[in-house]
A and B are shown apart, each in its own frame.
Chain A
Amino acid sequence: MNQGVQTAGLYVRDQDEALAFYVEKLGFRVHTDVRNGDYRWLTVQHPEQPSFQLGLFRPGPPMLDAATAQTLQAVVAKGAMPPLVLSVRDCRAAFEQMRARGVEFIQEPVERHGAVDASFRDPSGNGWKMIGPA
C-alpha cells in the first residue's frame, strides 16, 4: 500500500449544492456518502486520483456548536479558507469547459512563470487555483 494523505475536507454551506458542483461542474465522483441522523460524511474524488478523497463537510452538530458552525460558514463565505490547487492538463480548455457549465471564475487563464493558471470559487466561497502547463 501507499502511505500518504487520504482525505482532506472543505467546509461547505450546503452538501447537496456542493455535491452537484463538484460532480456535475468539476467532474469529480462520489466516493462516500453516508448519513447518520443529521450528520453526513460526504467525500468526492478526482477521477484520475483514486488515492485521495476530498471531503465536503457542513460545519455543525454534533461536532460543533451552532455559534462555531456559523463562524465557520462566515469564514468560508468571505473566501478566507486556505488555497486549493487543481492540476489540469490544459488550463485554457478546462476553463472554457467549466465556464460553460456555470463555474464562477474569478480569474481567467493567465500565463506566467511557465504555467497557465485560472481561479474559481465553489458556491460556498472556497477558492481554487487551477494550474496547467504553458
Chain B
Amino acid sequence: MPTATASADRRPEAPRDPALLRRLLRAKDRMDAASHEDWPVHRLAQVSAVSDAHFARSFKDAFGVPPHRYLLTRRIERASALLRDTDLSITEIAFQTGWKSLGTFGRTFRDVTGQSPGMVRAHMRAEANGLDRVPGCYLSAAQRPDLTIAVLEKQRREGTRINPLHQQEVQ
C-alpha cells in the first residue's frame, strides 16, 4: 500500500509484473555485458520491449536508479577493476570503458568515487588481499559505486564543479 508520504513524493508504485521486470532485467544485463557501448534509451527500450517513453521510468522503479546512472556505476566499476588488475594506462582505460574523452572520465571518476583514477590504482594495489578466492564478477561488483543520487546532486552537495555532460543523464 502506498503511504501518504510516498504519494506526496509522487513515487510511483514499483512495477510488479514479473514478466515486465524480467524484460527490464534484460536491459540491465545488456548494459552489464557491454557497459562501454552507447546505450540510448531507444536501444534499451527495445531490449525490454517497452515504449521509449516508459522505459526510463520503469527501469528506475524496478532498480532504484535511472538507467544511465546505472550504466555510469558499471563503467566506474569496470574502470576500477582495470586500474587494479591491469597495467593499462588511464587513457586506455577511459576509452575502453566507454568515455569519449580522458577529461570527462577523470572528472566523473573523481566526482563519483572521491578519488582520482591514479589514487584509486595506488590504493587498490596496496590493499590487495585474499580476494582471489571470490569469483571475479562478485569481487568486481563489490567495488561498484553506490550512486544513490545523481552525479549533479553529489557535486552540488559537495560543492564541486558541475560537469555539463551529466546534464544529459536520463531521469
* A107 with B63, Cβ < 8 A, contacts A13-B18, A77-B18, A79-B25 known: no
Within residues 108 to 133 of chain A, which ones have a CB less than 8 A from any CB in chain B? 108, 110, 112-113, 115, 117, 119, 121, 123-125, 129, 131
Once the chains are docked, how many angstroms separate the CA of A131 from the CA of B135? 9
Interface of B is mostly: helix
A117 engages B21 (CB within 8 Å)? no
A74 engages B21 (CB within 8 Å)? yes
Number of interface residues of A (CB under 8 A): 26
- How far is the CB of B75 from the nearest CB of chain A, in Å? 16
B137 interface residue (CB < 8 Å to A): yes
Chain A residue nearest to B30 in the complex (CB) = A106
Which chain B residues border A13 with CB–CB below 8 Å?
18, 22
Chain B residue nearest to A71 in the complex (CB) = B16
Cβ proximity bits B111-138 to A, threshold 8 Å, 1 near / 0 not:
0000000000000000000001001111
Which listed residue, B16, B25, B137, touches A107 by the CB 8 Å rule?
B137
Once the chains are docked, how many angstroms separate the CA of A110 from the CA of B16? 34
A23 interface residue (CB < 8 Å to B): no
A117 engages B22 (CB within 8 Å)? no
B63 engages A78 (CB within 8 Å)? yes
- Residue ranges of A at the interface with B (Cβ–Cβ < 8 Å): 13, 70, 73-74, 76-79, 83, 85, 104, 106-108, 110, 112-113, 115, 117, 119, 121, 123-125, 129, 131
